[in-house]
């Protein structure tokens, strides 16, 4: 389930992704690159323009929680599952993936402890790498909280997404995660995000189909690709989004995951 949980992370943030296939190509990838400007915009200005493009800080502040209802599709076998994301400010997230005839799995964090359950309902703690990624992506304001989310950001260059120019911003989180975010030069929206491993590689997630929900623009389609493969390996489509709902599930781990370990012989 690690691959699936990684995807779930990536989508959450109304922003996860990076260049993929022929949708985004930087210099040297065999397609005409965007002209490299001599004076790239500061990374901070790109984040601030994005915040305004999705509705502004006042609209964002009115969202205290969201429930995103979606469909998770795996291209290789046509498998379709039901995905529900429960998000609450400032950094709580529960992702529920329901596979027909197989059961439901959960990945969640209360902002500190990241945990999950398998299809049989058995709870467990996420490993160190999953915890870092999940807690990072559980930040409710996602890229609008860039000052708190990232240890460093810098504008690295330009790329082309579906024939449109985009700016690439490289980032490092406080937990050490590295990657790139792509901002459409015209719309100012995030069009992709990529988390990178030690070799500088990682799945590419395209972020599209923004729609307005209670004054805030959110992407409703995310597609994951690997390297230059044309067909997405996974896509997630959000059918509807609820804002400021009255009842949410608990984000806290089950008691057995937080109980102290008994002393030997005790």
Helix (H) or strand (E) holding 67: strand 65-74
Confidence of residue 101 (pLDDT cuts 50, 70, 90): confident
More confident site: 262 or 196:
196
**Residue 258: per-residue pLDDT:** 77
Task: For residues 33 and 159, give the distance between their C-alpha atoms in angstroms, rounded to a whole number.
Answer: 6
Residue 15 scores a pLDDT above 60: no
In angstroms, the CA 193 to CA 183 distance is: 9
Is residue 230 predicted with pLDDT exceeding 70? no
Q: What is the pLDDT confidence band of residue 251, given thresholds at 50, 70 and 90?
A: very high
In this prediction, residues 136-140 reach a mean pLDDT of 90
H or E element that contains 23: none
Segment 134-152 mean pLDDT: 92
Domains and CATH numbers, the chain: 2-239 (2.50.20.10)
How far does Cα 207 stand from its chain's mean position? Answer: 9
pTM of the predicted model as reported, rounded to 2 decimal places: 0.82
User: Residue 10: pLDDT above 60?
Assistant: no
- For the segment 175-228, what is each residue's pLDDT rounded down to a tens digit? 888 999 999 999 999 999 888 877 777 787 889 999 999 999 999 999 887 766
């Amino acid at each position: 389930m690690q691959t699936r949980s990684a995807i779930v992370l990536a989508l959450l943030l109304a922003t996860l992704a990076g260049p993929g296939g022929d949708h985004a190509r930087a210099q040297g990838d065999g397609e005409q690159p965007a002209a490299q400007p001599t004076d790239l915009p500061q990374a901070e200005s790109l984040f601030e323009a994005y915040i305004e493009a999705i509705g502004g800080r006042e609209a964002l502040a009115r969202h205290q929680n969201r429930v995103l209802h979606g469909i998770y599709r795996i291209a290789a076998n046509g498998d379709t599952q039901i995905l529900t994301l429960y998000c609450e400010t400032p950094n709580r997230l529960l992702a529920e993936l329901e596979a027909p005839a197989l059961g439901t799995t959960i990945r969640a964090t209360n902002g500190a402890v990241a945990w999950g359950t398998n299809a049989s309902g058995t709870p467990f703690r996420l490993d160190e790498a999953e915890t870092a990624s999940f807690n990072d992506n559980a930040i409710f304001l996602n890229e609008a909280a860039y000052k708190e989310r990232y240890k460093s950001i810098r504008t690295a260059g330009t790329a082309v997404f579906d024939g449109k120019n985009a700016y690439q911003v490289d980032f490092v989180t406080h937990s050490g995660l590295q990657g790139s975010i792509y901002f459409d030069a015209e719309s100012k929206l995030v069009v992709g995000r990529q988390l990178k491993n030690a070799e500088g590689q990682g799945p590419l997630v395209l972020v599209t189909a923004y729609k307005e929900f209670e004054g805030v623009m959110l992407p409703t389609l995310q597609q994951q690709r690997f390297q230059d493969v044309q067909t997405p390996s996974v896509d997630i489509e959000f059918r509807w989004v609820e804002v400021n709902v009255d009842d949410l599930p608990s984000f806290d781990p089950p008691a057995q995951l937080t109980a102290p370990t008994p002393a030997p012989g005790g």
